[in-house]
Structure formats: C-alpha cells, structure tokens
Amino acid sequence: MLIVVVFLVFFALAIVMTMTGHGGGNFYVLTLVLAGVSMHEAATTGQFVIFTTAVAAAIIFRKGKSLSVPLALFLGALTAGTAFAGGFLSNLFSGKELKIVFSIFLAFAGAAMLFTVEASKKEPNPRMGYWNLKAGNDIYIINLWLAIPLAMATGFFSGMVGVSGGSFLVPLMVLTCGVPMHIAVGTASAMIATTAFAGFAGHALHGSFNPTWAIPMAGVTIFGGVLGSKIALTTKPKYLKTLFAVTTLTAALLMFINAGVAK
C-alpha cells in the first residue's frame, strides 16, 4: 500500500516540478525519506528518477522552442562534474547533516525567486566575461563571472543532497542571466538530466541504489514529466515563477522539520 501512495505522489510531483524546472528532486527525496527510506538511498533513487524524467521533459520543451541548447551545454558541463564530486563525497556526511544543508539552500533559492525581479537588460555587453546569447529577437546577457562559480556550486551541492539542481539553476538563469522563465524552465530540464546522472553515478558507487524503488517510479514520473512540460508551455511566466518559489520554500521547510525530528 505504501508504494502505491508513493507512486501517486511521484506522479503528481512530476507534473508540478517539471512545470517549474525543478526536476522534482527536492520533493522526490523528501517523499522517500518520509516513507522510511534512508537519506543516502533516497538521494540515489531521486537522482535516477530525475534523470529519466528530465530527458523526456527536455524533448517536449525543445519541440516547444523553450530550450536554449548553447546555454544548456555550457552550464550543464559545469554542473555535471561537480555533481559527481558532490554525490561521491556525500558519504562523508550523515543523513541529518545532508537534510539541513538541503533545506538551507532551498530556502535561499525560493526566497530569491519570490522577492526579486527578473533581470531586464537586453542590450549587448561587449566587456570581457559577458556572453551575449541571442535567441530569436531576445538577447540574454550571461555574466560569466557569476554564472561559472554559481553553476559549479549548484552542481556540487545538488549532487551531494540528491537533487537535480533545478531549484538553483532556474534562479541562476532568471535572476543573473536575464533568461525568461519559460526558457529557463526548458533549459533547466536539459541540464537537470546531466547533473542528475552524474550525481546518481557518484551515489551509486557506494551501493545505495535500490532498483525496486527507482525503476518503476521512473516510468511513472516520465509520464508525469511529459504532461507537466506541455502544461508549462501554455502557462504565464509569472505564475510559473510564483509556483517555483512556493514549492521550493515548502520543500525547504518540510525537510528542515524532518531533520529536526530525525534521530
């Protein structure tokens, strides 16, 4: 009975999380932890599920022209390597410590999206360290001095706590790179796939992968992810931004409470 409930929760989460570019890792991990799965096993399972779901969602966003391939390749390459390192080094920390780190970083990401506005600068910046990325009639100014270290940190901590990185990649693109919410969500899906796979590999080397949970859930969340990405393409950006902030802050609060009551 418990696994049926978890399946239903995962399906609903896949829809909402894919709509906002989360990938779903924060809530997937939280759901498994609350179901009694250990933090390390939950993190590994979460990364596997995120990878398969993100690939399916990225295909839909690509068809809907809401995915920047150059930006995805650039930031994805930065996050993948550090995600592997974070996943591998996670074994040095206790489950409770990982939960606390998880909740703190989620809280910062959610607050940033809720209380700040999107960057609006559209004029090309010729100075060194700025990437003028054109997509259609829009120009996104990527501040490499900020984007590179933040992307690497995102990969490392996402891999360590078993999430996709979407909770941090979307604010990174929207708030520091001026990328519209729709593009950020679609691009995050592609990056989430690489980050999640790298993090999963790092965790799996310690033998914490449980295919009994992961493989069936991947099938459920792929379907939910496809549905969520299609809904996102027709939803107003301001609503996606608010939904992103609310779900991120909710996950942060629930995980912090769980860490406090854990033995």
pLDDT at 231: 92
- In whole angstroms, what is the distance from residue 88 CA to residue 155 CA? 12
How would you classify residue 21: left for phi > 0, otherwise alpha for psi between -120 and 50, otherwise beta?
left
Class of residue 131 by CB neighbours under 10 A (exposed 0-12, middle 13-18, buried 19+): middle
- Whether the CB-CB separation of 202 and 83 falls below 8 Å is answered with yes
Q: For the chain of 263 residues, list the mean pLDDT of each consecutive stretch of 10.
A: 82 86 73 82 83 87 85 82 81 76 80 69 69 72 84 80 72 80 86 78 76 83 90 87 86 75 50
What's the whole-model pTM score? 0.75
pLDDT at 227: 92
| Structure token digits, residue 213 | 């949970």
| β-sheet bridge partners, residue 134 | 139
pLDDT at 248: 83
- In whole angstroms, what is the distance from residue 230 CA to residue 15 CA? 9
CB under 8 Å to 39, separation ≥6 — which residues? 29, 33, 95, 96, 98, 99, 162
CB under 8 Å to 18, separation ≥6 — which residues? 24, 53, 57, 189, 224, 225, 228, 229, 232
Q: Which secondary-structure segment (H or E) carries 83?
A: helix 69-89
pLDDT at 211: 82
List the domain boundaries for the chain: 2-261
Query: Is the torsion defined by CA of 73, 182, 140, 110 positive or negative?
Result: negative
pLDDT at 245: 87
| The length of the chain, given as a count of residues | 263
